[in-house]
Structure 1
Amino acid sequence: MSIIQNHPSIDDAYPTRQCGEPALLYRQDPVVYGRPEDGPIDAATLESFEANGYLTIDRLLEPAEVEDYRAELRRLSSDPAVLRDERTVTEKGSDEVRSIFEVHRISEVFAALVRDPRVVGRARQILGSEVYVHQSRVNYKPGFGGRDFFWHSDFETWHAEDGMPRMRAVSISIALTENFVHNGGLMIMPGSHKTFVSCVGETPGDHYKQSLKDQRVGTPDAGSLSILADRYGIELFTGAAGSATMFDCNCMHGSNGNITPYPRSNVFIVFNSVENACVKPFAADSPRPSFIGARDFTPVGA
């Protein structure tokens, strides 16, 4: 299991949830498809993104903009219609809001953020094509009770359950509250995006209903995580509200729970290349609902 290997399959470059033992597989796709002249990211930052799988932006949003988004966050979390919507996920064991999915369709305020050149321009540059929104959500991690998000590669789930063929997607997490070292900030293993962890366990029917609250199937085993952590280390991201982290779809990442008084909220947007549109799931009977994994591949801004 500790030996990284290529898999001979030509139909599925990243097999997962199909064997009784986990495996570490070489990445078979580029990380950066675009060039420095294609967008706002300079050459040095693109080179760092290729090596580490992420980049940070200290001040993507201005303070006044952050206040507007926080006001919209409060409005959404207190709207009875939103709270009743299946796109709203509560914390396991409580009625606290954990996430609101497809937020760019629920809220024009967040729809405008998706179209913002500071956001989508970076995604187009990294992926080297027009992009569409595979997933959007706002995450709430309230003080004293926000639960953890266990270590995972988003691509493993998107490949297995949504049918995303290749690693040509990128996520951006924009902080709407300050990220401290102690309130459950994002952790990434730098360089882990070049290794795919093939997980064990079959995908249950309607798995998303459980996994959005507390995922178990599709999470890496302790041995694989230990190998990656020893090889790449762990980076914890802090920063002011308005800062952002953009990371490759296969980065191993997670976050601790929040037992401090200080809430942590962010907006999370996944851009996928229009040349990498989802097909039939690779390890599930049917795709997840479109509010979790989009089946509309219309480019942003079209």
Structure 2
Amino acid sequence: MTTLYNHRRTTDLYPTRGTSEAMMPRHDPVVWSPPGTPGPLGRAGLLDFERAGFTTVDALLSSDEVALYRAELDRLVRDPAIRADERAVVEPTSRDIRSVFEVHRISDVFASLVRDERVVGAARQLLGSDVYVHQSRINVKPGFGASGFYWHSDFETWHAEDGLPRMRAASVSIALTDNHATNGSLMIIPGSHQTFLSCAGATPQDNYKTSLRMQEAGTPSNEAITALAEPNGIRLITGRSGSATWFDCNCMHGSGDNITPYPRSNVFLVFNSVENRAEEPFAAPARRPAFVGARDFTPVR
């Protein structure tokens, strides 16, 4: 049975998009399950996630599975109907497809990946409850000029614009091509998940229409990034196709442009606790569309 959006409202623990930037401590757990809870992520993985805000899995998918998901990604990107769909986001300059959202609804192949126990089981293990998909997408970074994603905390956006009340969501980025140090791979600031960065500036109307191409609202200052990176530096996440990175919703992360000949394509899945369902936006004039921030809270089975 589908669980639909309701109009409840909780106290805003993480005010943002005001007149000035500010840092505040996290009020929520990082790993919500009790210690020793069984699941796909072992003890070392859970400890890494708790401490650094992320953990990597060297070989989540086999080479045959990578080939299956990569072929499906290529099919979606080539499909004229997908390009014409509002769920497809194109590069500002080249007009190549940058992302396709809600892929678990568009594609049965990616829907099966969401239900894979290696994936959804790890999400339940981290979040301590049943989970639903808050967002899914494929990110395509073809060579020779695909643009990056500037530093940001996903939670800041999901709280401000989608109404997620607490830090009880986790993302997994699964590599469908090799992620090199040179082709625009993910960068994370270890430990940044413990600090909420309240960003300055109001959210424009229909901000998602531009932010999915180039984010401006909800981005930190240079001084804030420097302060967050000072204790532990910046970690560049590389790995072979089939590897995966789980990271906390409040990790400060970003990626650079890809000016190499080597594409970088990943599938990106966001799981949110069913006990942390989206409400009204905390700092935006209206909710974003459901393909960006889900309003169907049906648990993944």
TM-score interval for Structure 1 and Structure 2 normalised by the shorter chain: over 0.9
Structure 1, residues 228-287: CA drift from partner, whole Å, max 9, x if none?
011221000111000000000000000000000000000000000000000010001111
> Secondary structure at the residue paired with 1:67?
helix
| Counterpart for residue 28 of structure 2 | 29
* Aligned ranges 1:8-87 → 2 under 5 Å: 11-18=11-18, 20-34=19-33, 35-87=35-87
Tell me if the contact between 1:173 and 1:246 (Cα under 8 Å) persists in the aligned partners. Answer: yes
Query: Matches of 1:29 and 1:269 in 2, distance apart?
Result: 21
| Counterpart for residue 247 of structure 2 | 247
Deviation at 1:209, TM superposition (A): 0.2
Query: Matches of 1:164 and 1:136 in 2, distance apart?
Result: 16
Tell me if the contact between 1:173 and 1:266 (Cα under 8 Å) persists in the aligned partners. Answer: yes
Query: Matches of 1:261 and 1:218 in 2, distance apart?
Result: 31
Deviation at 1:44, TM superposition (A): 2.5
Deviation at 1:38, TM superposition (A): 3.0
Tell me if the contact between 2:20 and 2:201 (Cα under 8 Å) persists in the aligned partners. Answer: no
| Counterpart for residue 116 of structure 1 | 116
| Counterpart for residue 223 of structure 1 | 223
Structure 1, residues 8-43: CA drift from partner, whole Å, max 9, x if none?
xx821100002x221010000000011433312222
Tell me if the contact between 2:45 and 2:56 (Cα under 8 Å) persists in the aligned partners. Answer: no
* Aligned ranges 1:143-162 → 2 under 5 Å: 143-162=143-162
> Secondary structure at the residue paired with 1:246?
strand
> Secondary structure at the residue paired with 1:98?
strand
> Secondary structure at the residue paired with 1:136?
strand
Query: Matches of 1:38 and 1:298 in 2, distance apart?
Result: 23
Over the residues paired in the alignment, what is the CA RMSD in angstroms?
0.9
Deviation at 1:46, TM superposition (A): 1.0
* Aligned ranges 1:105-184 → 2 under 5 Å: 105-184=105-184
Query: Matches of 2:113 and 2:42 in 1, distance apart?
Result: 22
Deviation at 1:191, TM superposition (A): 0.6
> Secondary structure at the residue paired with 1:213?
coil
Amino acid corresponding to residue 228 of structure 1 in structure 2:
L
Q: TM-score, normalised by structure 1?
A: 0.95
> Secondary structure at the residue paired with 2:95?
coil
Query: Matches of 1:232 and 1:277 in 2, distance apart?
Result: 32
Unaligned runs of at least 5 residues, structure 1: 1-9
Tell me if the contact between 1:183 and 1:257 (Cα under 8 Å) persists in the aligned partners. Answer: yes
Query: Matches of 1:246 and 1:42 in 2, distance apart?
Result: 13
| Counterpart for residue 89 of structure 2 | 89
Deviation at 1:93, TM superposition (A): 2.0
Q: Which moves more between the two structures, 90-99 or 265-274?
A: 90-99
Query: Matches of 1:194 and 1:201 in 2, distance apart?
Result: 22
1:280 and 2:289 correspond: no
Structure 1, residues 204-240: CA drift from partner, whole Å, max 9, x if none?
0000000000010101111111100112210001110
Query: Matches of 1:220 and 1:37 in 2, distance apart?
Result: 35
| Counterpart for residue 268 of structure 1 | 268
Amino acid corresponding to residue 260 of structure 1 in structure 2:
T
Q: TM-score, normalised by structure 2?
A: 0.95
Tell me if the contact between 1:36 and 1:46 (Cα under 8 Å) persists in the aligned partners. Answer: no
Unaligned runs of at least 5 residues, structure 2: 1-9
Tell me if the contact between 2:169 and 2:271 (Cα under 8 Å) persists in the aligned partners. Answer: yes
> Secondary structure at the residue paired with 1:119?
helix
Query: Matches of 2:279 and 2:37 in 1, distance apart?
Result: 31
Structure 1, residues 169-212: CA drift from partner, whole Å, max 9, x if none?
00000000001100000000011000000001100000000000
> Secondary structure at the residue paired with 1:271?
strand
* Aligned ranges 1:189-228 → 2 under 5 Å: 189-228=189-228
Runs of 4+ in structure 1 off by over 6 angstroms are: none
